[in-house]
């Protein structure tokens, strides 16, 4: 059974801090990795994707991929209350999502 695991949280960080979200996966053949943000009552929104080992930065967001260890992480720098949401990790090739980590950023 191919699995995508995320810590369900809730993860609480103070405003301005770095939030670190982690995801592990079981299928070594996975090639593409995505992070979606889902606000309560809304649909998921794509925020980052990464295909190669290493770091990928986009504004305050950094995705990190380590295929040997089978994990992908998302770092949010200078966290803002507006970042409070559930973050979903998605691992393709078979469109498999993790259960999501609920992040709360406290002012």
Binding site for another protein (CB under 8 A): 32, 34, 42-46, 49, 88, 90, 92, 94-100
Burial label for 31, CB within 10 Å (0-12, 13-18, 19+), is exposed
What's the closest the beta carbon of residue 58 comes to another protein, in angstroms?
A: 13
Q: How far is CA 13 from CA 43, 87, 92, 97, 102, in A?
A: 23, 14, 29, 24, 11
What's the closest the beta carbon of residue 99 comes to another protein, in angstroms?
A: 4
What's the closest the beta carbon of residue 101 comes to another protein, in angstroms?
A: 12
What's the closest the beta carbon of residue 90 comes to another protein, in angstroms?
A: 8
Between 17 and 49, CB nearer to another protein? 49
Between 36 and 84, CB nearer to another protein? 36
Number of helices and strands (H, E) in the chain? 0, 11
Between 15 and 94, CB nearer to another protein? 94
d(CA 35, CA 99): 12
């Amino acid at each position: 059974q191919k699995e995508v695991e995320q810590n369900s949280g809730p993860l609480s960080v103070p405003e301005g801090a770095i939030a670190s979200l982690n995801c592990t996966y079981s299928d070594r053949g996975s090639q593409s990795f995505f992070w979606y943000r889902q606000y309560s009552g809304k649909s998921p929104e794509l925020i980052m994707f990464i295909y190669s080992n290493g770091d990928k930065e986009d504004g305050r967001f950094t995705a990190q991929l380590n295929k040997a260890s089978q994990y992908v992480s998302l770092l949010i720098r200078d966290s803002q209350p507006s970042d409070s949401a559930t973050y979903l990790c998605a691992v393709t090739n078979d469109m498999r999502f993790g259960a999501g980590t609920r992040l709360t950023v406290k002012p």
